[in-house]
Amino acid sequence: MKKIYFFALSVLLLVMTSAQANRQLAVRNGCMACHADTEYDAPPWPELAAKYAQYQGQPDAARIQGEKLRKGKLFNNIKAHRKLTTNNASELMQWIIDGAQ
């Protein structure tokens, strides 16, 4: 019984730390300046999460959407979007697809 609790706890911690890690990535890349602050026109995280939830379960979606974001043309050429590396962009898109918690 104890083993099961321990296992459940480790899974929970793992999920929590990885969610935290991606939020940190968003913080480090300056995404919060616009998407977490209502003064700006950028859609807030819950809105983006709702929009991108359609990509859940599609293995390539985060990479494809991340590239779209990075290439900038679609979304007004925002510098913070264009500065992202391929890996960071797809990691952040995955975070958004998973609900941006």
Rule CB under 6 A: say whether 100 interacts with ligand HEC: no
Among 8, 27, 64, 78, binds ligand HEC (CB under 6 A): 78
Looking at the Cβ atoms of 13 and 53, the one nearer to ligand HEC is 53
Rule CB under 6 A: say whether 62 interacts with ligand HEC: no
Please state, in angstroms and rounded to a whole number, the distance separating the CA atoms of residues 31 and 34: 6
Residue 74 is given by DSSP the state G
Q: Residues 6 or more apart from 51 whose CB is under 8 A from it?
A: 43
Please state, in angstroms and rounded to a whole number, the distance separating the CA atoms of residues 12 and 31: 26
Please give the full DSSP string across 22-70, using - where no structure is assigned. HHHHHHHTTTHHHHS-TTSSSPPHHHHHHHHGGGTT-TTHHHHHHHHHH
Looking at the Cβ atoms of 7 and 40, the one nearer to ligand HEC is 40
Cβ 78 to ligand HEC shortest distance, Å: 5
Looking at the Cβ atoms of 3 and 79, the one nearer to ligand HEC is 79
Interface residue list for ligand HEC (CB under 6 A): 26, 29-31, 33-35, 40-43, 48, 51, 69, 75-76, 78, 80-81, 84, 92, 96
